[in-house]
Structure 1
Amino acid sequence: MVLEITSPILGFESLQSVTLEEIDSLFATLYATHERSLSFTVCNPFALLQEYAFDIPDRTKEQLGIQEGSPIRVVCIVVPRTPIEASTVNFLAPIVINTQTQRMAQVALDKLSYPHFDTQKPISDFI
């Protein structure tokens, strides 16, 4: 699925679209549409952290065309390391995807509002 980026991935502001490819039920990869060598491993945060929840800002809802009942998917960027247990997940900057409009945006959450989320949560905490 090709996704239009409406609010950039932090540090990759020039990236305008990505292709989402599933790896398995937990992981997927976002590839830069025009430069496949640039990619991000992402995961389903709800599979790792059952209490994971946040409010999607109104601006993001507008950018993505989110309305009541819109099909939404949320993923978080994983920083892969060797061994895999040393990999980390960024729960403070989730990527919100409207699968109907095929638009996505990264949302930078406020650490004070979400004190239990981290930018570098070890994946070993969940396996």
Structure 2
Amino acid sequence: MLFLARWVMAFLLLALTFNPTPWNYITWARTDGGAQLPLILLLGLLLLVGYIIYLRATLRSIGALGMGLVLAIVAALIWVLVDYGLLSLDNPGVNTWLAIVALSFVLGIGLSWSHVRRRLAGQADVDDVDE
């Protein structure tokens, strides 16, 4: 259940930043320009903090190779769905949503991996602390 919450938060972070609808940060910041610059900057910084948290945790837990493997598994799953005719890649909007789901899955697994490893192996990850 906690993985689902972490994945949903990663999905929201990515979808709020960009999605194929007009309701996203990048489109809003481009169209509103300098009219609401302080608010654009504040929300951009909040999104940046979210990305730093997720990316740092993901890189520390599964690393770049793990991120690539998870992304490859998601890509292979999409390929299977397309090959069996369950999914079509003709619509660019659907492709964008698929990319958001794939990337959020990578970030969700990255943020959850330490918890999964602790349950499977009984070993906890501990950050290096210099005292």
Which one has a bigger Cα radius of gyration?
A: 2
- Confirm or deny a common fold (TM above 0.5): no
Greater fraction of residues in strand: 1
Q: TM-score, normalised by structure 1?
A: 0.24
